[in-house]
Structure 1
């Protein structure tokens, strides 16, 4: 049986002193809060043990104990499933307290009451290079074509007249809700999701809904230029927060909050854009606590969650305690191609309704056929299959890119191999030595000066390897060396 999504589990913050207790409580909590729905299938004991790094016997014992309590049921030759009829007991007082204080935090911020409608709706058109674009040659076009044909036939047989929901088709929103729950630990419903035409539209809509009178939008010191352009077009000023080797500097953010009014912060915590650093859990929790204390929104751009190579991805901000103010923005474009133009916003249902009202004014609704096609691919498990296949290609290309930079440049450049994503951040300061550099000979590389107005001379470059095969990676890096090595002479 091909599962549409591989359910992820996170034990680090689970209650309990032993791995057995942590896993037991995690499963019960996920069942009680609806993340694991009745009838859904759990991973096999061997698979889950390998993923969590625990003994298989531990998983088997937990499954057996939960089955005895009525939480799980085993079907011969099929697997272990969440029971269709759940018991009304089984939660310890400590677990109940955890659920009440963490997963069901009361929203006292009033953020959704301050939705803003009067802002500029014209976004500057900005060009983009290959700084982490997926490889269109990996797209399963035959599968995509078959699914389009099947979907069109189904819609012809069961025609529905008139326009649909501006939030997107129910089918795709339900599929996304299931994916976000099982794969990203987010407990949200289809009513809390709005389909958009890529993450850039989601960023734009989120900032259009917010009120510039509430303050500035904080962006990371090096950040995504089209996002900042969207904020400025909607009337916001921006404040830059420092970055270090772990991502956003929380201490500097505290200084900003002490001196300036802040309406929101825009952040790319999974793989910081452009430096690729993953924000550690301690900083994520601190950021969420500050958001609740100072009543500012967090625009979480989770643009390439699927491509994480070495460990399980860290849960997004929207899945953690105190995440009331988080607007989670994602994209399916990295899964297939930017040409697909499908993204989503996951947030409070009232904010989603406001986003849908804005869509009514400019687009009425998205592409119903494409949305149903994507939903069919998600439900059949084909999206997960494609992600698993593409991830192996991209991980190999990441490793090859690191190898080629070392071969061509030796010790004259330095970098940390990214844990995920489709690009690598390379320190070229030794080669540039403070000299201005206007351009690079390839669209595969982008200078750090593009991401900040504070740098007179570049110190790093972002090299996108996702859309390149090994021969193309070698050619691009060797071509790049012709300019950089000459500049250093």
Structure 2
């Protein structure tokens, strides 16, 4: 008999189950040839005594090896290592040409889309005025437990296969209840399509609702990736100024009188990038114009959950009675950007058509994450997280605004935002943003150069300065470095 106690190595105090360690140890020895083919293994009881583990552990180890094809279990005869290893080496294709590395470029022409910026590293490992939530505040332990809980339930095995294209029905029910209670909606699960983030929602809407040559009204300035999603669909952008009360609705009415517009894209709660909130009076008139002229309102409410006033304005969709508003949102800001869970809220006929087209992009979402989020909602983790996060971000907003006002009021102009995770900062022309951004990066500080927000030939020399990402100490260090760099010669 082989010295199994020496051959099989495992540790009881690790995260990997002992039965898997035993199975993996046998596999490694078979690969090395130390344990050959057709060798009879000790019975489960005998092997358990040799390795000083429970017999059930050996049973599971043998079942794992059998499932992978490394052993053969014959009733009344015993358990043997397989005569042939369950792994094959692929045969290399040859065309008599030497190949030392993968091709550096295609052998055919690839059309370069210069209209869309090349993806850049997020540089989130460097401190700075990043736009988005602080990952240190997310309920990661609760999310991990919820995810593990879902995977451990046999009743949820069916969700490891294909599910409804629109999303897990129970998750859409929970999400519907959440939106109804927090945003004043009156939806059912049939009014919701779950997407991989709000950007996918915009892309699907551009495929379903629009044709080449359609005109869509957007802000000047506007969310860069929304603009380019519409442009990729062949649409024409009609830009309208945004002031302290939001997008200029009177200007929209003038456009409607001159020509047919298909849609309007708006971030009503906190306009992106300027953070201003669309006033109640303009919201009412905008809905009236949509009904009168028949254009679609795409309302992107990307950060509704982050507001610091006691009574935030409800979204446009909450007052829509004619089905003119398509509402999109995301949990990527609420929980974490890596959780690509967005949604579209609309009348059922549009949801059905969006699901039809969604199959061409991605046949379904992430059902396991959706089930985990159900537990997070039902157990109150999301609500508790939001309460703590809003308090923390409120303090961080006040801190950063105070630091900027005290130290850089001569070169940085901004309005304290009512919500969100960033301020819209306009820099004096004597402090051009691109060179400043380049000077700060080697010193360990990230500040957007603002070029992505320019929608015309005129540079606004303005950018979004995130306050959510940094704690108090980091914010103070960041502003101190910003001040020194601006005032240095």
State the SS of the aligned residue for 1:165: coil
- Does structure 1 retain, via aligned residues, the 8 Å contact 2:451–2:459? yes
SS in 2 for 1:357: helix
CA distance 1:262–1:270, shift in 2 (3 Å): same
Compute the displacement of 1:157 (Å).
6.2
Q: Which residue of 1 aligns with 2:240?
A: 241
TM-aligned CA distance change 1:222 to 1:123, over 3 Å: closer
Q: CA RMSD in A?
A: 2.4
- Aligned ranges 1:422-461 → 2 under 5 Å: 422-429=421-428, 431-432=430-431, 437=434, 440=437, 441=440, 444-461=446-463
Structure 2 length normalisation: TM-score?
Answer: 0.70
Residues 458 and 214 of structure 1: is their aligned pair in 2 closer, same or farther, counting only changes over 3 Å? Answer: closer
CA distance in 2, matches of 1:421, 1:374: 22
Task: Report Cα offsets for 1:247-269 as digits up to 9, x if no partner.
Answer: 10111111222233311111101
Residues 1:160 and 1:437: Cα distance change in structure 2 (over 3 Å): closer
In structure 1, the residue matched to 2:400 is 401
Shift of 1:277: 0.6
Distance change in 2, residues 1:341/1:123 (3 Å) = farther
Matched position secondary structure for 1:445: coil
Is 1:352 matched up with 2:351?
yes
Which stretch shows the higher mean deviation, 377-386 or 191-200? Answer: 377-386
Structure-1 residue corresponding to 2:193? 194
Q: Is the 8 A contact 1:241 1:248 kept in 2?
A: yes
User: 1:75: which partner in 2?
Assistant: none
Instruction: Give the structure 2 partner of residue 283 of structure 1.
Output: 282
Find the aligned partners of 2:411 and 2:183 in 1 and give their Cα distance: 39
Deviation at 1:468, TM superposition (A): 1.0
In structure 1, distance between residues paired with 2:348 and 2:151: 30
CA displacement at 1:126 relative to structure 2? 4.6
- 1:207 Cα deviation after fit: 1.6
Aligned length: 365
Structure 2, unaligned stretches of length 5 or more?
A: 1-112, 123-128
2:191 touches 2:346 (CA, 8 Å); kept in 1? yes
Alpha-carbon separation, structure 2, partners of 1:253 and 1:128 = 37
Give the drift of 1:313: 1.8
Q: CA deviation at 1:279?
A: 0.6
Instruction: Give the distance between the partners of 1:399 and 1:378, measured in 2 at CA.
Output: 29
Q: Which runs of 5+ in 1 are unaligned?
A: 1-119
1:237–1:201 distance in 2 versus 1, CA, 3 Å: same
Matched ranges for 1:100-111 at <5 A: none
Shift of 1:213: 4.9
Q: What corresponds to 2:295 in structure 1?
A: 296
SS of structure 1 residue aligned to 2:194: strand
TM-aligned CA distance change 1:159 to 1:321, over 3 Å = closer
State the match for 1:212 in structure 2.
211
Answer whether contact 2:213 2:236 (CA < 8 A) is retained.
no
Q: Secondary structure at 2:217's aligned position in 1?
A: strand
Q: Residue in 2 aligned with 1:470? A: 472
Distance of 1:135 and 1:204 partners within structure 2:
27
- In structure 2, distance between residues paired with 1:276 and 1:160: 39
Deviation at 1:127, TM superposition (A): 4.6
Over 3 Å counting, the alpha-carbon distance change for 1:267 and 1:180 in structure 2 is same
374 and 264 in structure 1: CA distance in 2 versus 1, 3 angstrom threshold: same
CA contact (8 A) 1:413 1:428 kept: yes
- Does the C-alpha gap of structure 1 residues 323 and 412 become closer, same or farther in structure 2, counting only changes over 3 Å? farther
Going from structure 1 to structure 2, the CA distance change for 1:428 and 1:165 (only over 3 Å counts) comes to same
**Partners in 1 of 2:252 and 2:205 — Cα distance?**
21
Structure 1 position 181 matched with structure 2 position 219: no
Match of 1:92 in 2: none
**TM-score, with normalisation over the residues of structure 1?**
0.70
Q: 1:214·1:262 contact (CA, 8 Å) conserved in 2?
A: no
Q: Any conservation in 2 of the 1:449–1:456 contact (CA below 8 Å)?
A: no
Does structure 1 conserve the Cα–Cα contact (< 8 Å) formed by 2:215 and 2:235? yes
Change beyond 3 A, Cα 1:250–1:128: farther
Worse-matched range after superposition: 192-201 or 411-420: 411-420
